[in-house]
Amino acid sequence: MEIRPAGPGDVDQALALHDELVPYLVTTRGMLTRELARPGVPGRATYAAVDGGELVGWATTGLIAGSDPLDGQLRLLVRPEHRRRGTGTRLLEATHANLREAGATTARVFADPSSVEWAARFGYRQTRQVHYAGIDPRQAPRQPEPPSAVRLAPLTDVEPKALYAADVVAQRTKPGDAKISARPYDEWRAAVWESADTVLDLSVAALYRDEIVAFTMGLGDHTMIWSKMTSTLPQYRGRGLAKLVKAAALQRAATAGVQGAYTANYDGNTPMLAVNEWLGYHRIATHAVLICPL
C-alpha cells in the first residue's frame, strides 16, 4: 500500500469514496478538482492511500482560519474492508506531520463514534458532538415574511466588506473549540468571497438600514450545497432572522435545481438546531468532535 499526495487523477475514485462513506459531506467534482489543483498552502494537503491501483483511503488537512493559537483540522476516510491494516494510522501520521510543519498546535477531527477508541491511542479526546442533517430544498417551508424594516438580498447583491464585517463577528461568536480572531480582509476575500466553491447567488443576507444583521452562506454548486455559516449579529438575535435567511436561501436553491442541502451543528447549539428542525432538516449522522495536541 502506498500513501502519497493526492492528484487530479484521483478525483473519480475519491468522489466514489465520499459518496459511499459520507454522502452528506458535500464534495462536488468542481470542489475536489479545484482543491487538488490549488497551489501549495501551508497546512493544506490531501493524501491518498492506494492499494493495487485502488483508492482505499483519503485524508485532508487545513488550518482553522483566524484561530489563535493556530489550530488544524483534518478529515480521514478508509474503506471498511481495509481498516485494521495500518492505513488509517499512516494517513493520520501524514496529516499530523503536515499540520505540525505549518505551526498548528492542535488537530481537530469529526469522527464516527466507532473511531473514538482508536483515535484515543494517538492522544485525541472528545470535546462534544456534531450532528449532520440534510433536506431536499423543494420540501422546505415557505419563507416567513421579513420584518417591515428588513430586506433580503442574495450575497451577490451585497458589498464584500459588509459581509466581511458580519463574518468577523460570526466567527468570533460561533460555538466551537477554536478561539477565532479576525483574519485580514484580503485573505478572507480570496478564500471566501472569490472562491468558486462559494455559491453567493444561493446565499442570503438580511439587511437593516443597509447593515447586514444576519446571513447564511453556502458552498457547492447548483446540484448540492453545504451550509458553511449561518449567523445573526448578537444584538439582533431572538427575532427569527436566522430562520428567515435560511428559508430564503433554501427557496433560492430549490428554484436553481439544487437536490440536496446539508449542514452540521454542535449539540449545544440549541437555537440553530431548532431552526433546522423547523425548516425540515432530517438528522443523518452524529460524529464525535475529537482534539489532539500536536
Write out pLDDT tens, residues 223-267. Answer: 999 999 999 999 999 999 999 999 999 999 999 999 999 999 999
Has residue 282 got a pLDDT over 80?
Answer: yes
* pLDDT band (50, 70, 90) for residue 129: very high
- In CATH terms, the superfamily for domain 135-286 is Gcn5-related N-acetyltransferase (GNAT) (3.40.630.30)
User: What's the grid cell of residue 105?
Assistant: 498546535
- Check pLDDT > 80 for residue 175: no
For the cut 80, the answer to whether the pLDDT of residue 181 exceeds it is: no
Q: Is the dihedral of CA 12, 16, 19, 25 positive or negative?
A: negative
Mean pLDDT across the stretch 96-125? 96
159/163 Cα distance (integer angstroms): 7
Local confidence band at 198 (pLDDT 50, 70, 90 cut-offs): very high
Q: Does 41 have pLDDT greater than 90?
A: no
> Looking at the chain, which residues constitute the CATH 3.40.630.30 domain(s)?
2-104, 135-286
Q: Do residues 87 and 57 make contact, with C-beta atoms less than 8 angstroms apart?
A: yes
Cβ-count burial of 230 within 10 angstroms (0-12 exposed, 13-18 middle, 19+ buried)? buried
Res 183: pLDDT: 86
71-78/106-111 β-pairing: parallel
Q: What is the mean pLDDT of the chain?
A: 95
Q: Homologous superfamily of 2-104 in CATH?
A: Gcn5-related N-acetyltransferase (GNAT) (3.40.630.30)
Confidence of residue 39 (pLDDT cuts 50, 70, 90): confident
Asked if 26 and 224 count as a contact pair (C-beta separation under 8 A), the reply is yes
pLDDT digits (tens, 9 = 90+) for 4-18: 999 999 999 999 999
The answer to whether 219 touches 197, Cβ cutoff 8 Å, is yes
Question: Can you tell me the mean pLDDT for 40-47?
Answer: 92
> How far is residue 247's CA from residue 240's CA, in Å, rounded to a whole number?
11
Percentage, residues of the chain above pLDDT 70: 100
Calculate mean pLDDT across residues 117-124. Answer: 96
CB count within 10 Å of CB 111 equals: 19
**Residues paired with 151 in a beta bridge:** 207
Mean pLDDT of the region 136-142: 96
**All cell numbers assigned to 168:** 468577523
Q: Quick one: pLDDT at residue 290?
A: 97
Cβ-count burial of 218 within 10 angstroms (0-12 exposed, 13-18 middle, 19+ buried)?
Answer: buried
Length, in residues, of the chain? 294
d(CA 151, CA 148): 8
pLDDT of residue 55: 98
